[in-house]
Structure 1
Amino acid sequence: MGRQQGDDVRYTIGQLVRRTGLTVKAIRFYADRGIVPPTGRSAAGHRRYSAEAEARLELVQTLRSLGFGLRTVRTVLNEETPSAEAAATQAAALADQIETLRRPARGAATSPALGLAGAGRDVAGQRLPDCPAPDVRPLRRSAVAARCRGSGP
């Protein structure tokens, strides 16, 4: 575990990596930006972090996974913006994005089978021959086109 100094636990960056799942590079990034600064330094000058820093890193991970930007993460951590207010703002923004994605593009043809705007048309708007949907695994565009022509891999 971390080295004890009185009642204050001090973790090395390696220990924080194991405890949080973040990379050394990510922890240093947040430290250098002042989001989760080190609590102190060892005699050799290595960064040391407290249990509070570990909790802050876990909150950073949660906020980032929810789509919050670094500016918002910083204001939430500095208690300039309450977490609930930031979450409500983010939820509203996500709802707007979902609604935008659900609306088909104005004037675009749609494929009822796939529900995709513009499916079955080339860039000039010409109808393409029916083609089975490609596998889920990533394929190059040329491989998909070749498959539709019947000469694919």
Structure 2
Amino acid sequence: MRVLKATLRRTPYVPLILFAVVFAAVLLSSELKSALASPLTGFVQQVVTGTLLLGLLGYQWMLFFKRVTKDNRNARTVLVRHRWMGAAATLLFALHAVRFGHVWMSALSAVVFLIALTGVMNREVLRYRSNAIYLIWLVTHIGLSAALVPMVAVHIWVALAYQ
């Protein structure tokens, strides 16, 4: 129990991300959003939350580009913001996504959930003993994030084409 408390004190974003993933999964699988009032599920709300998600997604890549360019200025601050923005993006995704059902939307949702879950399993939370395991985790997290980019582009194109 002490270890769990220490981990939560060190990583307060973890419960928020886990809550967001569970909240989004329940919301999407039970189709509660279809029962909500029209202003919460309308086209304007989808565009606003989608635009915010796109902005958060773009911001999340800042950490990757800082690592690639070996720009270590404010590295810890960028990492902390990356984690909190990931939690915010997961919550926003719960508000943006409408339902499971279509194969494409289910795949897109699954990738978002996997990115959030792999993000939670970072080195600060799990304390990897082996650098190889850390590298596998990192490649998985970044690979899923890279796969999300073209999926989002296709999603935007299809969503706007059918409006």
Band the TM-score falls in, shorter-chain normalisation? under 0.3
Q: Larger relative contact order (C-alpha < 8 A, sep ≥ 6)?
A: 2
Larger radius of gyration: 1
Query: Which has the larger share of strand?
Result: 1
Query: Which has the larger share of helix?
Result: 2
Give TM-score scaled by structure 1 length.
0.28
